[in-house]
């Protein structure tokens, strides 16, 4: 089982990227579980036509007992979808909510019952304290990939996430698998991200173009892989999926 966490600053295109990668892997015959670890609970929305998915925290708050089947849904290409959700605005801790969600999934036996080949944790990366660092910890992700653009705030967030990963590596937790550039077409973008990779001692494993195809697919509430499977952008996601798998295999710990 490959266990992969994808982090990135809010709005960087992380959830869109993860959902498209999930479809690529599923179409190649792998059983994929995508877990959204963002209070907005929109990580998997493109996989089930933007329909409202009951979050795990919704269930924790509203029901004393609930089943594993109530915590998940099956989306496009048979990707298994789960959303951690978050607290009511102004009440509670979103990071603690991620811990509660992952613990409940584990307690209900999702990994044993569904036996996914690939688990993708889609994690908000503006902060990496408390529960937001949970997917980096022992027993969850083996590799962390960070999505960034060349924008200064995105690079700043990526550097902070990488430092958190490096801190946990001392405890034999998740390893940094590499950086993914999601282009915003800012000045010297590639050079800035390559410099970040050099500073972090990691690799730029993939690049995604800024594309109107992505926006068009989101307006249809679908992934690019579903809406425009023959597009250049779909091919970029296929290449990126291959690079992610290669990065896992090279370090032999995924």
pLDDT tens-digit series, residues 213-234: 999 999 999 999 999 999 999 9
User: Number of structural domains, the chain?
Assistant: 1
* Residue 200 main-chain phi, psi, to 5 deg: -90, -10
Who wins on pLDDT, 10 or 33?
Answer: 33
Active site residue 192: no
Active site residue 108: no
Please list the alpha-helical segments (H only) found in the chain. 14-27, 56-62, 68-71, 94-107, 110-114, 152-169, 189-200, 212-219, 224-227, 232-251
Distance in Å from the first CA to the final CA of the chain: 7
Altogether, the residues listed in the chain come to a count of 254
Active site residue 64: no
Choose the catalytic residue: 3, 9, 108, 143.
9
Q: Round to whole Å and give the CA distance between 241 and 17.
A: 10
What is the helix (H) or strand (E) element at residue 81, kind and residue range? strand 80-83
Choose the catalytic residue: 31, 42, 117, 126.
126
**By percentage, how much of the chain surpasses pLDDT 70?**
92
Classify 20 as helix, strand or coil.
helix
Residue 124 counted as domain residue = yes
Q: Round to whole Å and give the CA distance between 60 and 78.
A: 25
What contacts 238, CB < 8 A, 6 or more positions away?
Answer: 24
254 has pLDDT over 50 = no
Choose the catalytic residue: 31, 40, 246, 251.
40
Q: Round to whole Å and give the CA distance between 223 and 229.
A: 9
31-65 pLDDT, tens digit per residue, is 999 999 888 888 999 999 888 788 999 998 888 89
Instruction: Tell me if the pTM is above 0.85.
Output: yes
Other Cβ atoms within 10 Å of 11 Cβ, number: 12
CATH for 146: 3.40.50.300
Choose the catalytic residue: 14, 108, 143, 192.
14
* Tokens representing residue 187 in the block: 């000045």
CB 201 within 8 A of CB 212: no
Residue 126 counted as domain residue = yes
Who wins on pLDDT, 129 or 242?
Answer: 242
pLDDT of residue 61: 87
What's 117's DSSP letter? S
Residue 235: pLDDT band with limits 50, 70, 90: very high
96 has pLDDT over 90 = no
Residue 254 counted as domain residue = no
User: Average pLDDT of the chain?
Assistant: 90
- Domain containing 117 equals 2-249
Closest CA to 157 of 134, 185, 124, 184: 124
What's 69's DSSP letter? H
Residue 210: pLDDT band with limits 50, 70, 90: very high
């Amino acid at each position: 089982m490959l266990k992969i966490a994808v982090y990135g600053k809010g709005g960087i295109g992380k959830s869109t990227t993860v959902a498209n990668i999930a479809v690529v892997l599923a179409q190649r015959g792998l059983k994929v579980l995508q877990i959204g670890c963002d209070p907005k609970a929109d990580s998997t929305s493109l996989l089930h036509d933007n329909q409202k998915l009951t979050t795990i925290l919704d269930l924790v708050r509203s029901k004393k007992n609930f089943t594993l089947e109530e915590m998940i849904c099956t989306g496009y290409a048979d990707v298994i979808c789960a959303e951690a959700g978050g607290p009511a605005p102004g009440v509670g801790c979103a990071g603690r909510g991620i811990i509660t969600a992952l613990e409940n999934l584990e307690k209900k036996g999702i990994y044993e019952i569904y036996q996914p080949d690939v688990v993708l944790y889609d994690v908000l990366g503006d902060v990496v304290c408390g529960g937001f660092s949970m997917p980096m910890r022992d027993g969850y992700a083996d590799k962390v990939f960070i999505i960034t653009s060349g924008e200064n705030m995105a690079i700043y967030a990526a550097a902070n996430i990488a430092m958190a990963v490096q801190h946990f590596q001392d405890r034999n937790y998740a390893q940094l698998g590499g950086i993914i550039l999601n282009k915003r077409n800012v000045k010297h973008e590639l050079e800035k991200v390559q410099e970040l990779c050099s500073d972090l001692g990691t690799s730029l494993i993939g690049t995604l173009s800024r594309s109107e195809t992505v926006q068009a697919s989101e307006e249809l509430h679908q992934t690019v892989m579903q809406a425009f499977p023959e597009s250049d952008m779909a091919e970029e996601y296929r290449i990126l999926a291959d690079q992610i798998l290669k990065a896992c295999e090279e370090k032999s710990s995924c």
